[in-house]
Structure formats: structure tokens, C-alpha cells
Copies of this chain bind each other. A is one copy, B any other.
Amino acid sequence: MSDRFSSLTEYSPETRVFGRESEYRPPKSWRTWLIGRPLPTADAPHQTIGKAIGLAVFASDALSSTAYATQEILVILAAAGSAAFGYAFPISIAIVALMAIVTLSYEQTVHAYPDGGGAYIVSRDNLGIMPAQVAAAALLTDYILTVSVSVSSGVAQLVSAFPLLAEYRTWIAVLMVFFIMVVNLRGVRESGITFAIPTYFFIVMMFSTVLIGLYRHFSGSLGLVVDPPPLEIGHALQPITLFLILHAFSSGTAALTGIEAISNGITAFREPRSRNAGITLIAMACILGSLFLSITFLSGKIAAIPSEAETVISQLARTVFGGRNVLYLMVIAATTVILILAANTAFADFPRLSALVAKDGFLPRQLTFRGSRLVYSRGIVSLAVIASLLIVIFQASVTGLIPLYAIGVFLSFTLSQFGMAHRWWKSGRLRSGETRREAGSTVHHDPYWLVKMLINGFGAFCTAVVMMVFAVTKFRDGAWIVLFIIPALVFAFASVHRHYQTLASKLTLENFGSPRAIQRHRVILLISTVHRGALHALNYARSISEDVTALHVAIEPADAEKVRAKWELWGDGTRLVILESPYRLLLEPLLQYIEEIDARRQPDEIITVVVPHFISPQPLSGLLHANTAEWLRKALLFRPGIVIVEVPYQVGNGNGRLRLPKPPTRHD
């Protein structure tokens, strides 16, 4: 084999490259109406945001979990009767403590990864490919569940205020997902203001609720929930066991979901971005923690009952505000909207992560293509479809979905923090002032590496323990599904990667000499009858090679005779082989003939089989003819050096117009 060097000598200085912009402009269609006019690539936005807006953009996912976390703790405790509800507050204190640890841990990530340090990137850079794929699988699963859970909880708030909607809850939820999908296909500019208004509205409303609630509680005027929904308990009352407490704790950890969002989006912040992002993270954790704690505290005091019919938030709000009044409705509206924003966050994260994973070659490359509005349309649509499916299967029940949720989050927390810990260890190995460039970031020597490693390590340890508690206590409730799906996804990622890698290694031009020029080009022209289409194909065949053999597979001897006579008249010197097919088969004798020729083929020789193909404008006319070329192409797919060419010959009143099949495809 000649190596790359020899090819360089063949390098031709005359290779000319012309560049031009296509003048094609997409026409208006129903898609324009639904998702807006297509945007050129140059329109991609590059804007940054400050801390206040940053909080609004990234906190909705985390804050929205206060809408259901308390209730899900109570649902589990309800198995031991309402007497067990007293454990909710201590459990929430433990969860907030965990939250503090995770926040501290992520604070370090934000500073170490100024270009964005999501669990996937941190795992990939510090732990390797396999852990990164596990993190990706966990995150993708969780983004899907974020959509299902948030939208279901949003609908639950609506149903609490308007009980008549209860029977349509599944369809309202699916409609909401569809709505969020369309908004995202239009391309959400994270312009901030659209996020800021509802997020701050939610923060204000919730703080008003809990502050007034606390004031009324301590002044003794709060009282209990009026007319609470009935407590639904399965069979006999369970005793209060450690398992039950841990089970409730697991459900409550849903409050931590979304806390990692800022570490993904550091690049969106104004400079100094790490510092701004870090402050925002701590602010978010404080708001989240205090809201969660006070909601849980007050729910206990007013004796709120967990129920699918009315959410705990709804019970709390109407108790605090003394009925279903305007303030109550404002709380419900704010909660519903923030839950929808949370789902919207997943719609930003899922396509971005899947594009990242696809770019690394672990998911189909199509996921890296940006659609007409510069968003990863395929990822957005996939997310909407899968999340809707989950909503339909679980009938939009938050309690049904919760056991699937959070396990992925904690898996990614663990990997991410363990990755950080490993990074600090590497940092400690460096000498002072020394740096090491890595794929996603640069490792500096850090004098405090040991403390930082211990913080991240402790965070990783805690989240790993919680994850295991979660897996054990919620295994039968549905966690097993996720424990099955994540390895399956990792396996799929690996298969996709292997395919792309094999392909790349077979296609690479490294150590590849120029392929040998084709010295001989044999053309076999398939003739069923001698007609204009056949002569057109003959003309084509002769334009590509001097060496043309016409081939007629003789099924009926009478037809063969006709072909022979006509060929003598019209064949214009091209030799004709009549291959008698005693068993009246077309494809098999043909393939055997091609095989025979192929067996004698030299490496610098190529065989083209030309098949005349007449194109009729009548729609069903294809049924009246055999599609020989298609069969041949399939049969010879794995044969190197053989090309099948269909030469179309348009008959009938074809107007030569362009027929554009939908959907348009993109590069492979």
C-alpha cells in the first residue's frame, strides 16, 4: 500500500474550490405558522445574563419541586396513618441538610468549570467514557421525568382549584407538553424577562403564603384545613419503621432535582461568570431550602392531607388566605406556571445534552442538527413524545411517577461530585503554579485541593447513599424501571458508538493512499424488451464506458427471439447476451451471471449494471411492473465493485416538475 506520503506527491495544485451561498429560501407552510419562519444559522443568539435574571432562568426547575416534595413525603407516611405526619418536618430538615452539602459541592464545580460543568462533562473529563455515559443516561431519563412530573403536578394544582377538570387531567397534561414543545420548536431565547416575571411572581407568592402562615400560626389564628380531602390509605395501617421513614425521605429528595441546572449553564452568565453563577446557586439553594422547610412545617400544623384530588399547596394556601379567594388563585396560578417553566427547562436541557452526546458519537448524529429555528428539533420532539407517553401510562399521577424520578438525578450528582473529587486529587498531584489542560477544562494546582476534595467526596458519598436508599425503598414502586432503563441506554450508547467508530476506522484517510484509478469499467445493460427506454439506457451506458454488454434474461423463448431481432436493428453494434432461464426466473440467473463476471473482476475494475426504468405519472402504475433495480440493489448491496444504475425514462404527460418528498432530510 502506498502511504499518505505518496498521496501528497499526487496532490494537485489545480484543485479549485468554489464557495457560494444557496439562494434557496424556505417557502411559507403550516410549519411557518406553527413554529415561525426558518432562521439562518447566522442568527444564533450570543447574549449573557446577570444574577437576577439568571436565578429566574435556572431556578424554576429546583423551586418548582416545592410544589410536590412535601406532599410526596406525606403520601408515604400516610401508610402509617396521620399520626406519622409528624415525621415530615424532621425528614425535611435532613433533606435540606443534604441540599446544603450538594450546593456546596456544586459551588466548587461552578468555579472549576467556567465553561459549563454538567454531570456529563465532569464525568467524561475526570472519570472516563463509561461513567460519562452512565451520567448521560441518568440525566436524559431524568429530563424526561422532569417534564412528566412537573406537568402532572401543574395539572394537579389546576385540578385542586377547579375540581371539574379532574377527569381530563391526562389530556390537559398532554396538551401542555405539546404546547411547551411548540414553544421550544419556535426557539426559546433565554431572554430572561419571560422567565423572570413568573419565577419572581412565584417566589413572592410563596413567601407571602408561608410568612403570613407562620405569622398566623405563631399568633394562634391559623387553625386546621377546612374540609380536607379524605385520607386514602391502602389496607391495614403499617407500623412506623425505619424503612418507612427512609421511604418518605426518598420521596422528599425530589426537592433536590434541578439544583444542578446552574452548573450546566454557566456560559449564559455575565462575566465574571463563575462568580455570578456561584452566587446565584447559593441564592437559589437558600430560597429553595427555606420554602421547602416552611411549607412542610405549616402543612403539619394545618393537618394537610396528601391527596390526588387536592394538592397540599392548595390546602395550605386556602387555609392561610382563609378560603378560595383571589390570593389563593394567585398562588395556584404561580405554582402551575412555575411547574410548566420547570418542564420547559428540561426541554432546553434534554436536546442540548443529547446533541452533546451525539457529537461524541454515542447517539445518532441526526440529534446534532439544528432545525429551522436553530434548535435541536429532533431532541425536542423525542422528549415531548416520551414524556407524553409516560403521562398517559401513569394517568398524570405525580405519586405514580415520583418513584421513577430522582434516582437518575442522584446518580448524576454522585458521578459529578465524585468526578470533582478526582479532579482535586489530580490538582493536588500538580506542583504549585503548574497546570494541565484537559478536554473540558484546565486543571490548576490548588493549595486547598484536599479540603475541596473532601467536600466533593463527602457530597458524592451522601448522594450515593441516598441513591441506594432510594433504589431499595422505591424498588417495587417503579424504581426498578429506571434501574433497567439506565443500563439499557448505556448499552445502546455503546452500540451506536461502536458503529460510528468502526465506520470511521474504515473510512479514514489516515494512512490511505489514493485509491487506484478505475482502469476498466464494464457495463451490463439489462434489457427486457427493446423500446425507447432501453435505447435511452443504452445511450447512457455507452456514455459511461466503451465496454457495454446488453443482457436479456429469456423467460419466454418467443420474447427472446423478438429481442434478438430488434436488437440487431437497434443495438448499434453493442453485443447482446441472451441468457436462457429454463426455470423462468429473472433475478437468480442474472445474479449468477453477474457473479461470474465479478469473479474475474480485477481490483481496478468496476461493474455497473444499468437498468432501464420507465417512469409513468399514473400513481398506481408501479404495481403493473416489476421493480427489478430495487431487488438487484438489495441483492448486491454487500458486493464491492458493483454499482446499480437505474436510468429513468419519463413517459406519459409528466410535466417535469420537481416533486419534493417530505420530510426534507439532512446530511448523513
User: Residues of A with Cβ closer than 8 Å to B?
Assistant: 7-8, 10-12, 14-26, 38-42, 364-366, 369-372, 374, 496, 499-500, 502-504, 506-509, 512, 514-518, 521, 528, 530-533, 535-536, 539-540, 542-545, 553-557, 560, 564, 566-589, 591-593, 595, 606, 614-618, 621, 623-628, 631, 633-640, 642-652, 654-661, 664-668
Contact = CB atoms under 8 A, between A and B. Distances in A.
A10 B539 CA distance: 14
Contacts of A660: 587-588, 591, 635
B567 A17 contact: yes
A636 to B, nearest CB: 7
Contacts of A623: 364
Nearest to A21: B580
Given A564-B17, A583-B24, A618-B499, A656 B627 contact: no
A360 to B, nearest CB: 14
Contact of A12 (B572, B646, B655, B657): B572
Contact of A658 (B532, B595, B667): B595
Contacts of A618: 499
5 contacts: A17-B575, A22-B582, A42-B582, A508-B532, A528-B667
Each complex incorporates copies of this chain amounting to 2
Given A22-B589, A626-B666, 9 more contacts: A8-B569, A15-B568, A22-B593, A366-B626, A502-B652, A518-B542, A555-B667, A585-B664, A586-B664
A641 to B, nearest CB: 9
Contacts of A22: 553, 579-582, 588-589, 592-593
Contacts of A656: 638-640
Given A20-B580, A582-B42, A658 B643 contact: no
Contacts of A507: 531-533, 614, 649, 651
Contact of A506 (B532, B539, B636): B532
Contacts of A617: 638
Nearest to A543: B518
A595 B658 CA distance: 9
A539 B555 contact: no
Contacts of A535: 509, 512, 514-515
Given A507-B614, A535-B509, A643-B648, A574 B499 contact: no
A644 B613 CA distance: 12
Contact of A585 (B365, B575, B666): B666
A381 B564 CA distance: 33
B624 A15 contact: no
Given A509-B531, A509-B566, A369 B16 contact: no
Given A515-B532, A521-B544, A664-B585, A576 B624 contact: no
Given A635-B661, A648-B643, A650-B638, A38 B574 contact: no
B12 A571 contact: yes
Nearest to A544: B544
Given A583-B38, A637-B615, A643 B540 contact: yes
Nearest to A554: B19
Nearest to A617: B638
Contacts of A652: 502-503, 506
Nearest to A365: B624
B512 A532 contact: yes
Given A499-B618, A502-B651, A508-B532, A631 B665 contact: yes
B528 A509 contact: no
B658 A591 contact: yes
A342 to B, nearest CB: 29
B496 A624 contact: yes
B40 A582 contact: yes
Nearest to A368: B556
A584 B658 contact: no
Nearest to A583: B38
Contacts of A540: 518, 606, 643
Given A17-B568, A19-B578, A496-B624, A24 B667 contact: no
A458 to B, nearest CB: 41
Given A8-B569, A587-B664, A659 B637 contact: yes
